[in-house]
Amino acid sequence: MHNQPQINTLNTVNFAAFRTIRVAFDDAVREVEVRRGADARPLSNDTLAKIARQIVELAKHGERDAIRLRTGALSSLHIC
């Protein structure tokens, strides 16, 4: 984890880290939707923002594993 490029103070991120963050976000959203069921309303913007913030926060601290990023986001929603 410590050998990966960090998100810098200008909030920029390299392409590989961005791709991992995007995969983690998409997977977390999909997991929440599956758990809620087919008849559930779409996720609110607040919920989507909470997922995104948690993933970015973990990435800022050097996490680059999409599964751990997703799990961290789901944990913040108290559904993992």
The tens digit of pLDDT for each residue in 20-43 reads: 999 999 999 999 999 999 899 999
> What tens digit of pLDDT does each residue of 39-74 get?
999 999 999 999 999 999 999 899 999 999 999 999
More confident residue, 26 or 1: 26
Q: What is the pTM assigned to this prediction?
A: 0.80
* Backbone dihedral region for residue 43 (phi beyond 0: left; psi -120 to 50: alpha; all else: beta): beta
d(CA 75, CA 39): 23
Provide the pLDDT for residue 1.
46
